[in-house]
Amino acid sequence: MIESTTTVTVLLALFGLVGGVGITAVGPGGVLPTIGLFALTDAAPAEVAGTAIVTHVATGVVGTVAYTRSGQLREHRTRRTALVLAGAAVVGTPTGVLVNGMVSESAFGVVLAGFMVWVAVLVWHRERRASAATDPPAGSRVHRARSTPVLAGVGFVVAAASGVVGVGGPMLAVPLLVALGFPVLTSLAAAQVQSVVVAGTGTVGYVLDGSVDWSLATVIGLPELVGVLVGWRVARALPARRLKLALVVVLLALAPYLALHG
């Protein structure tokens, strides 16, 4: 790690705070702690991912409790979606932890950036074509996209990618679920549950590998918890369309950084 200074500590805490807001407000915020650790320390890729993913255990729990309290996770469809995603994460996350040691930073950064741009375009395109209907009819293409096999596939891909870079899951799960036609709040709530499994399983893998800096995890993790609660309130206060547009902006804003600094 580079020399610890007050400036670096404050910046890491800010990355954690803003990342926490993003996790529960729009989804992709979980990548900010990873970016902060990568940009401000000389930690190896495994140490960056391991330290970042540790912070998402608590944020996932807090986010799950928050969305249960506000009612989203009491809805049958949301609970079902969350359970399928979480189940897939049990297999996907260890896969990602193993892949972390085999994929170069630059290659993965470019691929992830391209993926984020693709998802942003999907969400934007769907928002433009959205109808007034709140739920698709049975048998429609969107309805089929919500089937268990499709959700399990999404959950596995999200968990594997999250395990590689050390994010909790909402960064990828929320835009994908929105693109499949799920409401934003449903997507955010289900992603919090999956993130508990992703972060918990990933933490075990990286701890066993000795790739966690607990002091840095504390510096980022505590402000991140505060941000999660702030983001939950933001998500409930803003209209769904604004959340979708914010999601697109965040994805497109982060993509160039990941591509150039991966």
pLDDT > 90: percent of the chain: 39
Q: What average pLDDT does this structure show over 81-89?
A: 95
pLDDT digits (tens, 9 = 90+) for 146-195: 688 899 999 999 999 889 888 878 878 888 888 888 888 899 899 999 99
Q: Is the predicted pLDDT of residue 92 greater than 80, yes or no?
A: yes
pLDDT digits (tens, 9 = 90+) for 199-231: 999 999 999 989 999 999 999 999 999 999 998
For the chain, give the secondary structure using H, E and C.
CCCCCHHHHHHHHHHHHHHHHHHHHCCHHHHHHHHHHHHHCCCCHHHHHHHHHHHHHHHHHHHHHHHHHCCHHHCHHHHHHHHHHHHHHHHHHHHHHHHHCCCCHHHHHHHHHHHHHHHHHHHHHHHHHCCCCCCCCCCCHHHHHCCHHHHHHHHHHHHHHHHHHCCCCHHHHHHHHHHCCCCHHHHHHHHHHHHHHHHHHHHHHHHHCCCCCHHHHHHHHHHHHHHHHHHHHHHHHCCHHHHHHHHHHHHHHHHHHHHHHC
pLDDT on residue 166: 85
**Which of 21-25, 182-186, 193-197, 236-240: highest mean pLDDT?**
193-197
Q: Is the predicted pLDDT of residue 32 greater than 90, yes or no?
A: no
